[in-house]
Amino acid sequence: MNIDQQKNFTKPPHSYWMDSTPQPEYPTLQEDIQVDIAIIGGGFVGISTAYMLHSQGLKTAILEADRILQGTTGHTTAKITSQHGLIYSKIKSQMSEEFAKQYADANESAIKMIEKIARENNIECDYVPQSAYVYTLQDWYIDKINDEVKVASSLGIKATYLEEIPLPFPIKAAIRFDDQAQFHPRKFLLPLAEKIAASGCQIFEQSRIVNIEENDKYVLITRDGKKVTAEKVIIASHYPCYNKPALYFTRLYPERSYIVAIKAKEKYPGGMYITAEEPGRSLRSQNSDQGELIFVVGEHHKTGQGEDTVKHYEALIDYANEHFTVENIPYRWSTQDCMTLDDVPYVGHFTSHTPNMYIATGFGKWGMTNSIASAMILKDLIIKGESPWQDVYNPSRQTILASAKNFIVENLNVAQNLINGKTQPLEHDTNIQKGEGKVIAANGQRSGAYRDEQGTLHVIDTTCTHMGCELNWNSAEKTWDCPCHGSRFTYEGDIVEGPAVNPLSVDKDVNTIEKLIKDDY
Ligand code: FES
């Protein structure tokens, strides 16, 4: 397969994790219910937190907007590691040594907890112990690597400084963490969901929460108008689907990144790798029915912003060909991450004034250990009233104030995108080919048009239903993406990712638009 053939994308993106596991179905909520704990979101945090709380005897329900474990959990790289770039020196210098220690303990404990849950429940999830490496190709990063080794070691992590790593190219310096692991996240979580459902934890799919009312208890309302009355609520919907009064959208921003799974002539040397510098590149392997796959990962950018997204897959393919003899590319997919202002997740009480509402979000690119650490923190906060790691993860931590510059930069970026979307001159090029999406002026309104492979035109109103920013076309995934807070929609207007809770308006007058386009030819 030559490089042009590798870049000839005839099939839509599809994740290996999704392709190699079945998708069980859980019912939609059909009646009003009462529970102790309502968890919004059936991803890694939702399932694992329910597992921990349900085993404490609490009546728990999971409300998933779509299908469980299909979002970020089904599109991750699935590294189980406490090595999150060069995070420890950053937390120590910007927050405190105590916070760095809490973060290290939480993530090292999370590695052990995943292994423990798998073992205790006889879950076969391709769990493989691995070392994790951060490496640099640049001289000026050597001191940073050295510093991270010292800080991580002082926190009790097995960290080693290296000048060579097993990858087939020279580096300037690297840090290795031992006793890390990789696994198949859906092979781990689907049996766990099945187990908790069998023992009475309620899981509802296609049950999007569109509002939360607060009386003496919380009342969650689904899109179908059904009510879930709960003593306590956990928002684990990735980007929070509920913001009042915490305004999480002012301190979270979404990023997309890309993965190509290659088959190579060379055997992969083992290990999980990531660059310290930009452009970020990450590697790991995975045994599959098709033999050994190598995941080549990188190319992050803000959701809904930037160039033609197909170029990101192409850049990873170029990188793969520089370092391996690529024989085939069976899979490619992309994912979305929520980034915080200081790179540490927000896990704990939703605000300091909401003792019975909790949140877990903002895991950056490090969702595996942070998800299970979140489940452990939330369980402790609910059962014991405190967690040994609550301060560093506290969503209301005072140290976020130190990120004021990031706060201004991110919110200016949102404001700019809001204005640009409204003022951008509309093109009158309405020649839309099969498989192509474009912003067009339809009846004088900014509209999004996509022509499917059968030739049918789909036209939507590009105004995001979250807070009114204008959507942009994502050519790689064939979706309409919001540059403000990352909501994504199919070309038919259905929600792919929140925070939006309502679909897009569909232009009913497609025939007229089609005629205008034909006239334009
Ligand atoms: Fe907030 Fe679109 S996601 S305006």
The predicted structure's pLDDT at residue 487: 94
The predicted structure's pLDDT at residue 251: 85
Q: Is 252 in the pocket of ligand 1 (CB under 6 A)?
A: no
Tokens of 411: 């919110």
- Residue 498 DSSP SS3: coil
In this structure, the dihedral spanned by the alpha carbons of residues 210, 247, 370 and 339, taken in order and rounded to 10 degrees, is: 110
CA distance 110 to 81: 9
Q: Is 488 in the pocket of ligand 1 (CB under 6 A)?
A: no
Q: Is 500 in the pocket of ligand 1 (CB under 6 A)?
A: yes
Whether residue 258 is predicted with pLDDT greater than 80 in this model: the reply is yes
The atom number, within ligand 1, closest to the CA of 469 reads: 4
Q: How far is the CA of 483 from the centre of ligand 1 (A)?
A: 7
Q: Is 471 in the pocket of ligand 1 (CB under 6 A)?
A: no
Closest CA to ligand 1's atom 4: 467
The region of weakest confidence among 120-129, 248-257, 327-336 is 248-257
The atom number, within ligand 1, closest to the CA of 239 reads: 3
Segment 488-509 mean pLDDT: 88
Residue 454 CB neighbours (<10 A): 6
The predicted structure's pLDDT at residue 423: 72
The atom number, within ligand 1, closest to the CA of 486 reads: 3
Quote the crossing angle between the two packed helices 367-383 and 97-120, to the nearest 10°: 90
The predicted structure's pLDDT at residue 158: 94
The predicted structure's pLDDT at residue 113: 97
CA distance 386 to 384: 5
Domains, in order of start, for the chain: 436-520 (2.102.10.10)
Q: How far is the CA of 246 from the centre of ligand 1 (A)?
A: 16
Q: Is 241 in the pocket of ligand 1 (CB under 6 A)?
A: no
pLDDT band at 401 (very low <50, low <70, confident <90, very high): low
CA distance 312 to 326: 17
Q: Is 467 in the pocket of ligand 1 (CB under 6 A)?
A: yes
The atom number, within ligand 1, closest to the CA of 498 reads: 3
The atom number, within ligand 1, closest to the CA of 471 reads: 2
The predicted structure's pLDDT at residue 45: 97
The predicted structure's pLDDT at residue 430: 64
Segment 356-383 mean pLDDT: 96
Q: How far is the CA of 237 from the centre of ligand 1 (A)?
A: 15
The predicted structure's pLDDT at residue 521: 45
Cβ atoms of 264 and 326 within 8 Å: the answer is yes
Q: How far is the CA of 468 from the centre of ligand 1 (A)?
A: 6
Q: How far is the CA of 463 from the centre of ligand 1 (A)?
A: 9
Q: Who's near 255: CB < 8 A, 6+ residues apart?
A: 300, 301, 302, 303, 336, 337, 339
pLDDT in tens, 166-189: 999 999 999 999 999 999 999 999
Q: Is 207 in the pocket of ligand 1 (CB under 6 A)?
A: no
Q: Is 466 in the pocket of ligand 1 (CB under 6 A)?
A: yes
Q: How far is the CA of 249 from the centre of ligand 1 (A)?
A: 9
H or E element: which one contains 105?
Answer: helix 97-120
Segment 76-100 mean pLDDT: 96
Q: Is 421 in the pocket of ligand 1 (CB under 6 A)?
A: no
CA distance 240 to 357: 12
Mean pLDDT of the chain: 92
Mutate to test the pocket of ligand 1, among 469, 488, 504, 505 (most ligand atoms within 8 A of CB): 469
pLDDT band at 257 (very low <50, low <70, confident <90, very high): very high
The predicted structure's pLDDT at residue 306: 78
pLDDT in tens, 195-241: 999 999 999 999 999 999 998 899 999 999 999 999 999 999 998 88
Quote the crossing angle between the two packed helices 185-198 and 44-54, to the nearest 10°: 40
